[in-house]
Structure 1
Amino acid sequence: MTSGVAHDFNNLLTVIVGNIEFLERVVTDERSTRRLDLMRGANLTAQLLAFSRRQRLVPTPVGLNATVAWMRDLLQSSIGGAIQIEITLQDGLWQALVDATRIELVILNLAINARDAMAVGGRLTIETANVTVTGAPTQPEQPNPGEHVMISVSDTGTGMPHEVLARVFEPYFTTKETGKGSGLGLAQVYGFAKQSGGGIRIDTVPGEGTSIKVDLARVEGPRTAGPSRRRPSIAPGPTRPAARRPCS
């Protein structure tokens, strides 16, 4: 149903966006340009398609260490100076078989969610690791057994109570104020992870923080990720094995 709504909505947007692009060529003042940008709805369509696992992905071998290191400046500017960023990248990380652009959006999405959970500042930790899942999933969002490349985004924020955790992947469910979020962020991450052959695990403790681990399919074979395009500010090192503590 979500996919059908997204495609019908996209058909309507085709005409609207076409006219917006025409107006953008003739409008020159900054205020009008910003208003035209706000009229675009393609991002909402992409989020709906992501949740329904019908988005168009171009999976390629991606070194997540390089992706995270390259995104550091963007992440810092997006979450502000009141939050400290720590990055721990595992040596010898396997390559992930994912859409390179979409995984960057996923990381940014999770970082912004973490920022919103730390209203008075805190610490944002991004980690990568090779993980081997052995047990069968106990929740629909969890990955199937196998070898995965994990990227986790953790915060020292408010955490989630059980009743919020139970609904966190529902489209349009949000605890944010009206106008502050669409409720599609984690639903989009969920759809992307599943479509990319992986899953999500959440560890959260109310009052202490939340860790969201996204497991992605690895590239088969002995290849590991190449060197980072930019050196991270914190030296790469081993990460803790993916935890499976109760989320209650």
Structure 2
Amino acid sequence: HKKLNEKFAMCKKALDQTDLELGKAQQARQAASDEVAAVDAKVQKVAFEMRKLDGAKLNALSEHTALDKAAQNVKAAIERKQALIGEKEMAAATLENDLARIKVDALNTAASNVVLKQRLESMTAELRDKDGLIQRYEQETRRRNDELEKKEHSVSVLNRKLDAMKERAGLDAARAQQADEEEAGPLEATIRELRAELDRKAAESAEMQRQWISGQTELVARENDNASKGDTLLELRARLTILNQKRLRIESQFDVQNREVVELERSMSMMHHQLTKLNALI
């Protein structure tokens, strides 16, 4: 019985030792399990962080690519704007040169217009003077013609009177000659004086007629010249009107070009600012 108790005690002691070791083993297993769980959690956390980091890298790369592409697009747009500004500035310079030439041409045309107008006014006044002189020539010619007609009538009357006196005398040739010399002497002298005066008046009238014809010829020439000057003046005025219209049109185009250049420069300045920001982000 004693041996059984000893054996039982030994078995119980061995069992207790086994339970103790089993408890320790369970504790070690639990510790190992906890450690494995902790390590697994750390691994999962590291994997999650790696995925996040990879996503961030991918996003950063995508954003970098997008920013680089945007910067390239902005740069290309700026280059296009610069080329367009160059074209606009060249067109504006061409318009400015055209406008300067038109202004010079308009000034020259206006100056020619003023000179021609003054010349036309002077010629018109001269024509009025010539016309008045010709009218005086005509009046003087009519007056002298009237005097000539009166003188010719007087000579005709005296000639008829002389012929009548000769017919009434009824004398022979000698007596008629004596009668003519005695009775008709004063009458013939008067006739000769009248004829001489008539010749002078005729010569004066012919000279007046010549002056009148010369004045008429000069008047016609002046009127033709005046008409030509008037046509030239009308042409110059029409040309000046066309030049003014062209000047206004080019000035309007020039203003439009300048406004477009200002707008393009403002837009390009904004693009430069955007490009600077993109480069900073890249």
One fold, TM greater than 0.5?
no
State the structure with more CA Rg. 2
Greater fraction of residues in strand: 1
Normalising to structure 2: TM-score of the pair?
Answer: 0.17
Greater fraction of residues in helix: 2
